[in-house]
Amino acid sequence: MSPARSSPDTEERVEEGDSLSTLSELEGQRKEAGDIVYRWFRFRVRRGIGVFYCLLSFLPVIGSIMGTLFASQFVGVAGASVALVCSWAVSRNAGFRGFGRMSSTLDLLKGDGSPEGRRWGTVQTFVAITLWPWLAYGIAGILGLRALQILFAVLWLVEYVAYRFLTLSRNRNPLVDHRAEDWLVVVIIPVAALISAAGVLASAPPFYAFLMVSPILLFCGMKSLYDAPKELVMDIGSPPR
């Protein structure tokens, strides 16, 4: 007797089952790759933030030294501004850049969001919202308009907090979780700006308030650098720390 042959329907069901199994395996590999890339991106961003905080702590020192040497507040502000741009460039090389590309890569690998939902998280938007008040603050300081300095410092804090809440509500997998040290930096910088603009100590140098918070900025930067490697072994489902 000849061996029984499988029917065409049986063969189709076997092939369909194999295809579904292969697709399921590929989907699992894609998710796993997305998790690995997600950890790596968060490590780079946290490292870049730590470098930026550390460099930011030296800006008041640079501005104070240059302002004293040249006996000009304008030179001090200009020197601190140039140092800020250099600090931003170094931080970008350390990982504090490419948020749009990172988000697009995660969208592709993890498939849990659309690029349109991350538009509020682009660096361009961040710079446009958060940078101009400090430029206006510096100009107002050079012109001696302390009331406007206070206004721009408060405006920066309001804009930044609103920006963060908008990005958090739109992004389910943020590349940056605001931790205690991040919120501390967000608060102490405008507080130092308000103290400096209000002239609490009339005989103090222009950057005295920022000099007071420099050690705190340095501590926040060191903590971010210390915590950066932890992102590589982070549990994806864990809440922000």
CB 102 within 8 A of CB 175: yes
For residue 76, the Cα-to-chain-centroid distance in whole angstroms is 27
Query: Which residues, in sequence order, are CB contacts of 123 under 8 Å at separation 6+?
Result: 97, 99, 100
Residue 94 has pLDDT above 70, yes or no: yes
pTM value is: 0.74
Res 240: pLDDT: 43
Out of 12-26, 33-47, 165-179, 211-225, least confident range: 12-26
Q: Which of 195, 194, 175 has its CA nearest to residue 126?
A: 175
Residue 24 has pLDDT above 70, yes or no: no
Q: How many whole angstroms separate alpha carbon 148 and alpha carbon 145?
A: 6
Q: How many whole angstroms separate alpha carbon 61 and alpha carbon 59?
A: 5
Q: Structure tokens of 46?
A: 């946290």
Q: How many whole angstroms separate alpha carbon 198 and alpha carbon 14?
A: 78
Residue pointed to by tokens 């990005």: 167
Residue 107 has pLDDT above 70, yes or no: no
Residue pointed to by tokens 């140098």: 205
How large is the average pLDDT for residues 15-30? 59
For residue 71, the Cα-to-chain-centroid distance in whole angstroms is 35
pLDDT band for 239, please (50, 70, 90 cuts).
very low
pLDDT band for 176, please (50, 70, 90 cuts).
confident
pLDDT band for 122, please (50, 70, 90 cuts).
low
Residue 118 has pLDDT above 70, yes or no: no
Task: Tabulate helix, strand, coil % of the chain (nearest 5).
Answer: 80, 0, 20
Residue 132 has pLDDT above 60, yes or no: yes
Amino acid at 192: A
Average pLDDT, the chain: 75
More confident of the two residues 135 and 182: 182
For 185-224, write each residue's pLDDT tens digit: 988 988 888 888 877 666 666 678 888 899 999 999 999 9
Res 220: pLDDT: 94
Res 15: pLDDT: 54
Residue pointed to by tokens 């498939």: 111
Residue 54 has pLDDT above 90, yes or no: yes
Query: Which residues, in sequence order, are CB contacts of 152 under 8 Å at separation 6+?
Result: 133, 134, 136, 137, 140
Residue 123 has pLDDT above 70, yes or no: no
Residue 237 has pLDDT above 60, yes or no: no
Neighbours of 181 (CB within 10 A): 20
Res 219: pLDDT: 95
Res 58: pLDDT: 92
Q: How many whole angstroms separate alpha carbon 126 and alpha carbon 139?
A: 21
How large is the average pLDDT for residues 170-185? 77
Neighbours of 59 (CB within 10 A): 21
Share of the chain above pLDDT 90, in %: 10
